[in-house]
């Protein structure tokens, strides 16, 4: 009863762990226990008793020590029995709130008060060894220093700050589900696809071959399920993504069922182009950028296996894909052949909105490095476009050399969030001194042409929307002016403002006044739609979309907006002058 009361005073929390599947077929969870605090409380009590000076209490002290040590052993035995473990069961321990999980590379953690008496410390250590010895010896497949199936102690090169699943041995599967944005599973060994069963199998080099389907089913040691898309928190869209089963088998592959039709000696990356694909923001944020983050360290020695494969997507982003892989992409659903790989990453890593966190990347690669990939991808095509334009210019035979002017690109919209006085804006910009190009990108617009226009621009202007994703095509230190309609402040800053600054652009967010919104003529001046857009947004996304995104356009106050344009023009003109002096 006393022990139960002491336990009730301090609830035990269960540590989060990452499942690691070894080739032996045992699911292991590695957080290890810290000893009960009552044990070390006894040591403290003994220490206090030793310092009592009275000679008439020596016998009592000796008796107390013997009693306490006996109780110490009893409590240790009780603690050992508190976590029974039988061979074949998953080992799961309770860890108190001060324990520190180490992901897939957990190590034992002990909370201890340092005894003042050296011999008590020795006794405690010996007791600990007796405590854990039965557990260690009861299974040859588990080690206190087990790291992704590798026994025999912690390797000298182990990095305890490394992300989960960053180190694996052959014959293992490890899934990192710690991110709120995406799940990523890693496989290493004899990996074989099976599109008919929506599965990817991992076979070991040991064990029996499978002579029948029943035998194969019995040999399925572990199973993980994953939807390889980067919007994990959006349940409706994730439900539309094809699910993959990752199956770790105990034996070696045999027979015609899983015979390799095409074998690669490079890793594979599995991902989906479903979900919101079709919207340029999501195509880059949820697909292309995470694909770069996940695969760039392979230096193009990687195969992309695509779920929900779209030919148009391959055509649109083929120039970029060719700088991420040397191999043709695999249509997982459309190609029923069995593909074999030595390693696989299932799912894509994502850092933040339209950016790359260099601290999480091998070689500290960042968003500027991604933009350099875009440069290499599109410049061959851009050079062809330039040659075509030069031929046209020769036919026109200009009488005087063109003066270098700051170039302004206006991303024009049709329908909602259009600039209603766009022609007046163009006229004002030309009077300021800009060379103006109005760009109307559509789903079928060649990306190389958009890239060429923005890569050569000094300033880009556009109303908040998916097309603002094209700021990625601009050169660092150029200017990006985003027109922010009512009710879109947070989205404009989060999705485009902050990421553009990370790319090195000079960003200006132009928040329109209520009188610049088309909603000004539809609502009373005191209506929350005009006076307090945030209160409307708090009602839910459907209200934001219906009112502020689908029904709102803008008429810019040209005098007010012109001040931002003049600022960008002056800075751009000075930059052009500096660059001209540098060339001479």
pLDDT digits over 50-90, tens only? Answer: 444 444 444 554 454 444 434 434 433 333 333 333 333 33
Q: Tell me, what's the pLDDT at 316?
A: 96
Cβ contacts of residue 251 below 8 Å, gap of 6+? 203, 204, 206, 207, 208, 209, 210, 219
Q: Tell me, what's the pLDDT at 352?
A: 94
**Residue 103 scores a pLDDT above 90:** no
**pLDDT averaged over every residue in the chain:** 78
**Residue 539 scores a pLDDT above 50:** yes
| Mean local confidence (pLDDT), 360-384 | 93
Environment class of 314 (CB within 10 Å of its CB; exposed 0-12, middle 13-18, buried 19+): middle
Can you list the alpha helix ranges (DSSP code H) found in 180-323?
213-218, 235-239, 280-282, 289-295, 311-321
Q: Tell me, what's the pLDDT at 382?
A: 87
Please state the domain extents for the chain.
Answer: 2-13+24-137, 172-350, 400-583
pTM of the model: 0.71
Instruction: Output the 3-class SS for 45-112.
Output: HHHHHHCCCCHHHHHHHHHHHHHHHHHHHHHHHHHHHHCCCCCCCCCCCCCCCCCCCCCCCCCCCCCC
Q: Tell me, what's the pLDDT at 222?
A: 82
Least confident of 138-142, 288-292, 490-494: 138-142
Residues in the chain: 584
Least confident of 102-111, 190-199, 455-464: 102-111
Q: Tell me, what's the pLDDT at 252?
A: 66
User: Of all residues in the chain, what percent carry a pLDDT higher than 90?
Assistant: 58
Q: Tell me, what's the pLDDT at 391?
A: 74
Q: What is the distance between the alpha carbons of residues 271 and 286, in angstroms, rounded to a whole number?
A: 10
Q: Tell me, what's the pLDDT at 400?
A: 54
Q: What are the pLDDT digits (tens) for 426-459? A: 999 999 999 999 999 988 899 999 999 999 999 9
Q: What are the pLDDT digits (tens) for 483-502? A: 999 999 999 999 999 999 99
Highest CATH level, class, for 400-583: alpha beta
How far from 63 is each of 47, 69, 72, 176, 211, CA to CA, in Å?
14, 10, 14, 53, 68
Q: Tell me, what's the pLDDT at 163?
A: 63
Least confident of 101-115, 336-350, 477-491: 101-115
Tokens of 390: 């030069």
Q: Tell me, what's the pLDDT at 281?
A: 97
Q: Tell me, what's the pLDDT at 443?
A: 81
Higher pLDDT, 221 or 542: 542
Least confident of 19-33, 110-124, 149-163, 272-286: 19-33
Q: Tell me, what's the pLDDT at 502?
A: 97
Higher pLDDT, 386 or 270: 270
H or E stretch including 564?
helix 558-583
Q: Tell me, what's the pLDDT at 165?
A: 75
Q: Tell me, what's the pLDDT at 582?
A: 77
Centre a 10 Å sphere on the Cβ of residue 178 and count the other Cβ atoms it contains: 13
């Amino acid at each position: 009863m006393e022990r139960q009361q002491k336990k009730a005073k301090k609830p035990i929390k269960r540590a989060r762990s990452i499942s690691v599947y070894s080739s032996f077929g045992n699911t292991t969870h590695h957080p290890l226990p810290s000893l009960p605090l009552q044990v070390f409380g006894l040591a403290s009590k003994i220490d206090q008793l030793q310092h009592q000076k009275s000679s008439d209490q020596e016998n009592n002290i000796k008796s107390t020590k013997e009693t306490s040590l006996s109780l110490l052993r009893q409590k240790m035995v009780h603690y050992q029995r508190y976590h029974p473990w039988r061979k074949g069961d998953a080992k799961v321990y309770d860890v108190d709130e001060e324990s520190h999980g180490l992901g897939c590379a957990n190590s034992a953690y002990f909370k201890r008060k340092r005894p003042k008496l050296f011999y008590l410390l020795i006794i405690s250590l010996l007791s600990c060894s007796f405590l854990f010895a039965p557990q260690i010896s009861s299974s040859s497949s588990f080690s206190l220093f087990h790291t992704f199936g590798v026994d025999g102690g912690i390797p000298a090169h182990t990095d305890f700050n490394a992300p989960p699943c960053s180190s694996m041995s052959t014959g293992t599967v490890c899934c990192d589900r710690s991110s709120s944005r995406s799940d990523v599973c890693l496989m290493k060994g004899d990996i074989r696809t099976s599109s008919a069963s929506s599965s990817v199998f991992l076979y070991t080099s040991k064990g029996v071959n499978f002579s029948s389907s029943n035998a194969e089913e019995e040999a399925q040691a572990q199973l993980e399920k994953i939807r390889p898309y980067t919007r994990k928190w959006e349940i409706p869209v994730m439900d539309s993504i094809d699910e993959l089963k990752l199956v770790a088998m105990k034996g070696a592959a045999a027979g015609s069922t899983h015979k390799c039709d095409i074998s690669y000696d490079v890793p594979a990356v599995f991902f989906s182009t479903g979900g919101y694909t079709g919207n340029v923001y999501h195509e880059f944020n949820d697909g292309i950028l995470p694909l770069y983050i996940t695969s760039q360290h392979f230096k193009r020695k990687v195969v992309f296996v695509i779920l929900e494969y779209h030919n148009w997507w391959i055509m649109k982003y083929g120039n970029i894909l060719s700088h991420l892989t040397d191999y043709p992409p695999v249509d997982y659903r459309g190609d029923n052949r069995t593909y074999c790989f030595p390693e696989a990453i299932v799912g894509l890593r994502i850092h933040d909105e339209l950016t790359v966190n260099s601290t999480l990347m091998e070689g500290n690669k960042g968003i500027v490095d991604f933009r350099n990939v875009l440069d290499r991808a599109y410049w061959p095509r851009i050079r062809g476009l330039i040659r075509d334009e030069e031929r046209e210019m020769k036919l026109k035979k200009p009488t005087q050399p063109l003066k270098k002017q700051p170039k302004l690109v206006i991303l024009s919209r049709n329908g909602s969030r259009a600039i209603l006085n766009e022609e007046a804006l163009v006229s004002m910009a030309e009077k300021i001194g800009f060379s103006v190009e109005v760009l109307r990108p559509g789903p079928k617009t060649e990306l190389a042409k958009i890239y060429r226009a923005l890569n050569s621009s000094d300033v880009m202007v556009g109303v908040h929307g998916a097309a603002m994703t094209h700021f990625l095509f601009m050169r660092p230190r150029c200017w990006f002016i985003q027109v922010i309609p009512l009710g879109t402040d947070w989205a404009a800053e989060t999705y485009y403002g902050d990421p553009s600054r990370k790319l090195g652009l000079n960003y200006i967010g132009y928040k329109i006044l209520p009188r610049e919104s088309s909603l000004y003529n539809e609502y009373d001046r005191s209506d929350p739609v005009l006076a307090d857009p945030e209160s409307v947004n708090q009602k839910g996304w459907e209200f934001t979309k219906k009112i502020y995104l689908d029904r709102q356009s803008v008429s810019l106050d040209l005098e007010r907006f012109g001040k931002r344009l003049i600022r960008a023009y002056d800075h751009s003109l000075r930059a052009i002058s500096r660059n001209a002096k540098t060339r001479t």
